Amino acid sequence: MSLEVIRSGAKALVVDLGRPSLRHLGIPLSGAADRMSFQIANWIVGNAPDAAAIECALGGQAFRFTAPTRFAVTGATAAFSLNDTAIKPHTHHLARPGDTLTFGPASTGTRLYLALAGGVEGAAHFGSRSTYPLAKLGANGGRALAKGDTLATGPEQGAPNTLPTGFAPRLSNHITLRVRSATEYEQLTFAAQRRLFTQPWTASPRTNRMGARLVGGELSLEAAPDMVSSPLLPGTLQVPPDGTPILSLVDSHCTGGYPRALQLILADMWLAGQIGPGTRISFNRCLMEDAPAILATQTALWQSLIEGWQP
């Protein structure tokens, strides 16, 4: 055992890179919502990019170390302190047994990542320790972390690393997501298609890892036949008949029943993982020929620093 949960805040979960390619069985991707911040945190403490770590929503969590542990915090902007001393994100620290790590509220972005050297241990299902509470999959009995839960870490995986200046991702409370159209885009009226790209949207208070309802005006649909349940991906924007679009995120249902208007490009999925209640979102059309180049450039940059980095 090396960590005890003192306060779990709005939500804290064990995450890794999740369960890809199982959507035909109803198993969502899960794992870190912001895969970029998550993999950076692991790299800083010397872990493989897919080692399990802790994702904390909105800040406010507190943890007590019960063994000497190297750790790093990335993701949303918040004040952190080890005991009563303020510490910095995006660098490694060494905690002694009895030390308490406290997160203040997140001011920019939504999800913080706490990586522990050696990675968090716990049960794996379908090759991943990521907690998916609906199906009770992953570490900690498939439950979100609660006060009193304890977590163990594995043996150290490598030497810690120092993030070069300028590499820490900059977050914002008004994000622009690049999108391609999905297959039912034409079912939106011309006015709705225009509105999608010309005004900012605000994630509703019920936003979570499954998805975000986006408030900002109704999107009307052309009269269209009822859709049968059909596949979705993380980053699909659906438009239900009430006109309030729903953006699916990492824990989203694998099928939906509403017209699919947009699909986020893969390179921007990490940014969507920082969406929380109140986040402002604008959509920007990504040209067909640009999307692969954006992903290739992003991947090459991060893989030059972090071996095994995955978009």
Partner 1 sequence: MLPTVRAFGDRAFLLQWPTVGYSEAASAHALSVSHHLRGLGVFTDVIPGYDSVLVGYDPLRMDLLAAKMRLETELPIVPRTFTLGMQHDISVDYSGPDLDAICQSSGLSRDEVVHLHAAEPYRVCMIGFIPGFAFLSAIAQPLRHSRHATPRAHVPAGSIGIAGWQTGIYGLDSPGGWQIIGQTDSVMFDPDREHPFLFSAGDTVRFIPS
User: Which residues are near partner 1 by CB under 8 A?
Assistant: 20-21, 23-27, 125-126, 134-137, 142, 179-180, 182-183, 225-226, 228-231, 233, 235-236, 253-255, 260, 262-266, 286, 288, 291-292, 295-296, 299, 311
- Enter the DSSP assignment of 128: B
Nearer to partner 1, 173 or 204 (CB): 204
CB 299 to partner 1: min, Å: 6
Nearer to partner 1, 46 or 259 (CB): 259
Alpha-carbon gap, residue 145 to 12, rounded angstroms: 5
CB 134 to partner 1: min, Å: 6
Alpha-carbon gap, residue 55 to 270, rounded angstroms: 13
**Structural tokens at position 275:** 């969406």
CB 58 to partner 1: min, Å: 22
3-class DSSP state of 88: coil
Query: Which strand ranges, in their side-by-side order, compose the sheet holding 92-95?
Result: 11-15, 53-57, 108-116, 69-77, 92-95
Nearer to partner 1, 17 or 137 (CB): 137
Nearer to partner 1, 202 or 230 (CB): 230
Alpha-carbon gap, residue 17 to 97, rounded angstroms: 29
Nearer to partner 1, 1 or 301 (CB): 301
CB 184 to partner 1: min, Å: 10
DSSP assignments along 144-159, one per residue: ---TT-EE-B----S-
CB 225 to partner 1: min, Å: 7
